[in-house]
Amino acid sequence: MTTRTGIVAIVGRPNVGKSTLMNRILGQKLSITSRKPQTTRHQILGIVTEDDTQIIFVDTPGIHKGQDKAINRYMNRAATTAVKDVDLIVMVVDRTRWTDEDDLVLQTIKQQRAPCILVMNKIDFIQDKEEMLPYLEVLSGKHTFDQIIPLSAKTGHNVDRIEHLIRSYLPENPYFYPEDQITDRTSRFLAAELVREKIMRQLGDELPYEMTVEIEEFSHDGGLIEISALILVERPSQKRIVIGDKGYRIKQIGIEARKDMESLFESQVMLKTWVKVKSNWSDDERALRSLGYDDRTQ
């Protein structure tokens, strides 16, 4: 049997729906999502094997500007390196909102040889669909995109079309990964991301980006996985926010994260969480590396 396998980078500025699109095509939640920009911080592979094709998606942090902490430099580096040596680039934009950061993404794409499909996402939010046609013309004038596809990653509208189109760009190759593998990331990494997602969703407006999660214990004993998650913040006031009144907030974060972990790992999970202050970790290159922000260490 002739098989097709290829690497597809999903790129765009923050909060345009890159992770939601990959999760939708995979048919399960792999990349974390929230309404806050810069939720995704790492390159994450999502692998879908179906019929005679294997698509290896690279979900990337949003390319952004205006912030110069070490963690921001890391995220931009992770996104811009992801488009090198891929078979196809999928650039995602948010409806009819083109910004300077979209220009920044496009500059990166123009330096690559790979074909590029432009996805106009979140069209379910466009009340007057007649607005789309003239804007699609505007988009087609920005670059020689191979295709421009309007869709909604949230509802699934037109997602089957983009998936079918992606398959047509894949070269003949043997599978790079086993047919049942969905990512190259470890369970420990995925557990940390799920805890971080719940914090972002519950405290996005209260807690800035100086928060990360480190898994200190991940042990599987029969039908039970025991996980210890350390939440790192930069200031005592942030620690109080995460813990909440009488520990209510951190308890809710733990309950929601555990539910998603049990679904992802298909096992009962016992999750312990606590919070620690680690000053200035987000602008310290050495601290970032020790926490796994080192271009692929987990």
* Cα separation, 76 vs 13, whole angstroms: 10
* Cα separation, 132 vs 125, whole angstroms: 11
Give the dihedral sign, CA 201/203/205/211.
Answer: negative
Roughly how many angstroms between the first and final C-alpha of the chain, as a whole number? 34
Res. 21: pLDDT tops 90: yes
For the chain, give the number of residues.
298
Q: What pLDDT score does 33 carry?
A: 76
* Cα separation, 95 vs 27, whole angstroms: 23
pLDDT tens digits for range 247-288: 999 999 999 999 999 999 999 999 999 999 988 877 777 777
Q: What is the mean pLDDT of residues 192-220?
A: 86
Residue where the block lists tokens 């990337």:
60
* Cα separation, 175 vs 285, whole angstroms: 36
Look at 55-59, 272-276, 287-291 and tell me which has the smallest mean pLDDT.
287-291
Structure tokens given for 241: 């926010």
Query: Crossing angle for the helix pair 236-243 and 187-203, nearest 10 degrees?
Result: 90
pLDDT tens digits for range 167-177: 999 999 999 99
pLDDT tens digits for range 92-112: 999 888 999 999 899 999 999
Mean pLDDT rounded to a whole number for the chain: 88
Res. 34: pLDDT tops 70: no
Domains and CATH numbers, the chain: 4-168 (3.40.50.300), 187-290 (3.30.300.20)
Q: What pLDDT score does 298 carry?
A: 40
Q: What is the mean pLDDT of residues 24-51?
A: 79
Q: Give the number of other CB atoms < 10 A from CB of residue 98.
A: 16
